[in-house]
Amino acid sequence: MDKPPLALDPNFSGGSEDFPALLRRKGLLQNAPEITGASGGPSFVPTESTTILAFKFSGGVLVAGDRRATAGNTVVYDRADKVLEIDRHSIMAIAGVPATAWEMARVLEHSFQYFRRTQLQEMSVDGKVRALSKLLRDNFGFVMQGVGVVVPIFATYDSNSKPEARLYFYDAMGAQFEVTDYAATGSGSPAVRGILYYENTWGSKKLHDLNEEEAVAIALRALDTAAEADTATGGVDRTGKIFPLIKIVFRDGIVTLPEEKVARIFNDKVA
> Is the backbone peptide bond immediately before 51 cis, with ω within 30 degrees of 0?
yes
Q: Positive or negative, the Cα torsion across 206, 124, 98, 174?
A: positive
Q: How much is the average pLDDT of 108-131?
A: 95
Q: For 221-254, what is each residue's pLDDT tens digit? A: 999 999 999 999 999 998 888 999 999 999 999 9
Residue 17 included in any domain: no
Q: Tell me which residues are annotated as active site.
A: 50
Instruction: Assess if residue 43 is contained within a domain.
Output: no
Question: pLDDT, tens digit, for every residue of 5-55?
Answer: 544 455 544 444 555 566 666 766 555 445 444 445 445 677 787 899 999
Residue type, 233: T
What is the average per-residue pLDDT within 139-150?
Answer: 86
CB 86 within 8 A of CB 129: no
**177-213 confidence digits (pLDDT tens):** 999 999 999 999 999 999 999 999 999 999 999 999 9
| CATH code for the domain in which residue 172 is found | 3.60.20.10
State the pLDDT at residue 32. Answer: 44
* 189 assigned to some structural domain: yes
Does any domain span residue 230? yes
Over residues 70-105, the pLDDT tens digits come to: 988 889 999 999 999 999 999 999 999 999 999 999
Answer yes or no: is 157 within a domain. Answer: yes
Q: Are 111 and 92 in contact (CB under 8 A)?
A: no
Cβ atoms within 10 Å of 107's Cβ, excluding its own: 16
Give the whole-angstrom CA distance, residue 185 versus residue 163.
26
C-beta of residue 159 within 8 angstroms of C-beta of residue 89: yes
112 vs 26, higher pLDDT: 112
Average pLDDT over residues 120-148: 91
Residue type for 19, please? F
* 169 has pLDDT over 50: yes
What's the number of domains the chain is made of? 1
Structural domain range at position 110: 48-270
In-domain check, residue 12: no
Decide if 207 is inside a domain: yes
* CA-closest candidate to residue 128, choices 98, 152, 96, 99: 152
DSSP 3-state assignment of 97?
coil
Q: Is residue 2 part of a domain?
A: no
Is pLDDT at 140 greater than 60 in this prediction?
yes
pTM, to two decimals: 0.83
Average pLDDT over residues 146-165: 87
